[in-house]
Chains A and B, each alone.
Chain A
Amino acid sequence: MIAFWLLALVLIASAVFTITARKPVYSVVGLLGNFVALAIMYLTLQAEFLAVIQIVVYSGAILILFVFVIALLSSGVKPFDVGPDRLPKVLVPAAIIGAIGLVTVVFSAVRVPSPAQPSVAAGTAGGLGLTGQADVFGSVANFGQQLFTVYLLPFEVTALLLMVAVVGVVLLAGDEEPARRRGKTRAQDREPIVKRQEPLIR
């Protein structure tokens, strides 16, 4: 119950931050917090596979795509300021903290015995289902069995959709080289690119 209210607070706060942030980069950070909190909420709803997919696909792929596009669009506007070299100053503290972390990880990995495999009854009783049991609701095995038997047609349609998306993106933002090889540049039937005076991203 406490976990729900905490997660709900994080979700709403990050959503508000996402839509109110002045720069898209800040929105991406807010969206990242939103996605991670949502993944944890999926875990509380016994959707283990979707929690992992949420992290991998949303936080991993889609947000990186957003970051890349923002970086691409704001490139060439201002020279990138590297800043002073701070490495000598932080070298000793960083080495100490890193060594402490390494020792902690190694120590705990050596000392704590790996937990025994939970029984099937423990998986069904409450909390998270067992990932390998096909008859446990929310387990990865259950999800996979359903996806590849009952819901096979939607799955195949999704594959087609993804292929159409890939072809569409390549056609939209792809190289101009094929057109040039046909003896005509696509730039000819384009308006000239406006010289940017101010940052594109606001």
Chain B
Amino acid sequence: MNPMNPSFFDVPIENYIALSAVIFFLGAVGVIVRRNPLIMLMSIELMFNAANLALITFAKAWVNAAGHIFAFLVITVAAAEAAIGLAIVVIVFRRSANVDVDEIATLHG
């Protein structure tokens, strides 16, 4: 079976990639626009998921499990990132009642 044959896909690969790009863009907009650190972290998760969708789409297009493995590793990294990020958010909130990341300068060192 030719992987690049368009009929291999019920849905063309471009649709999945476009959807992935849209979700990634929405996540990036969330990080840029919102100033609440929790919502910014969730937007980062959105971007991780968009990247995973692209990886899994390409894995199916080339019938290669490497994309699946890499998406799995990305999920692991996302879990670690969420844990560390939320711990930092908790400790920053504990020290001050600030919810605006622009006004938090504690991590400047």
Residues of A within 8 A of B (CB): 1, 4, 8, 11-12, 15-16, 18-19, 21, 24, 27-28, 31, 34-35, 38, 41-42, 44-47, 49-50, 53-54, 57-58, 61-62, 65-66, 69-70, 72-73, 137-138, 142-143, 146-147, 150-151, 154-155, 158, 161-162, 164-166, 168-169, 172-173, 190-191, 193-198, 200-202
Q: Is the interface of B mostly helix, strand, loop or mixed?
A: helix
By the criterion CB–CB under 8 Å, are A158 and B73 in contact? yes
By the criterion CB–CB under 8 Å, are B42 and A31 in contact? yes
By the criterion CB–CB under 8 Å, are B93 and A42 in contact? no
In the complex, how many residue pairs between chain A and chain B have their CB atoms under 8 Å apart?
181
Cβ–Cβ < 8 Å partners of A172 in chain B:
84, 87-88, 91
Q: Is the interface of A mostly helix, strand, loop or mixed?
A: helix
Interface string of B77-91 (1 = CB under 8 A from A): 111101110111111
Size bracket of the B interface = 35 or more
Question: Which of B27, B45, B76, B84 lies in contact with A168, CB distance below 8 A?
Answer: B84
By the criterion CB–CB under 8 Å, are A200 and B99 in contact? yes
Residue of A nearest to B15 (CB): A4
Given that A24-B38, A193-B95 are contacting pairs, would A146 and B66 also be in contact in the complex, using a CB cutoff of 8 Å?
Answer: yes
Cβ–Cβ < 8 Å partners of A11 in chain B:
19, 23
Residue of A nearest to B18 (CB): A8
Residue of A nearest to B25 (CB): A15
Question: Which of B19, B65, B75, B77 lies in contact with A142, CB distance below 8 A?
Answer: B65
8 extra interchain contacts, Cβ-Cβ under 8 A, other than A42-B56, A72-B90, A155-B73? A8-B15, A19-B42, A27-B42, A41-B53, A57-B75, A58-B45, A158-B73, A161-B77
